[in-house]
Amino acid sequence: MNPIPNPDNWMDVFTILAATAMVAIPSWFAARNHKSIKKVTDQVVNGHTTPMRADLDGMKSTLDEIHLDIRGVKTDISDIRQELRQERKDRIDLDDRFERFKKTS
């Protein structure tokens, strides 16, 4: 068994402090890093039963479906506008023909 160190001079004190620092400093960094990792884990896991990546992938596919639905609605609205333009043009043409018929009669 090793005896308890007995510092008889400043070099022994320095050796004991250096040995203590070599153990304490990495331990302090590890504890600090562990706290940071726990914060990140709390943000990522957040009490969900599924991983965050799976949740994000599900949200992305949902947004893609919504985007396709909106694109379909825009196409439908464009088609309706085109039909209204054509109907308006046909009605104006019919009115013109009716006016010309009235003038000739």
- φ/ψ region of 41 (left if φ > 0, alpha if ψ in -120 to 50, else beta) reads alpha
Question: Are 56 and 36 within one domain?
Answer: no
Neighbours of 6 (CB within 10 A): 7
DSSP 23-38: HHHHHHHHHHHHHHHH
pLDDT tens track of the chain, all 105 residues? 566 667 788 888 888 888 888 888 888 787 777 766 776 666 666 666 777 778 888 999 999 999 999 999 999 999 999 999 999 999 999 999 999 898 887
Question: Are 39 and 54 within one domain?
Answer: no
For the chain, the farthest-separated pair of C-alpha atoms sits apart, in whole angstroms, at 133
Question: Are 54 and 96 within one domain?
Answer: yes
pLDDT at 32: 73
Neighbours of 16 (CB within 10 A): 13
Question: Are 57 and 99 within one domain?
Answer: yes
Question: Are 35 and 81 within one domain?
Answer: no
Domain that holds residue 31: 8-47
> Is 1 inside any structural domain?
no
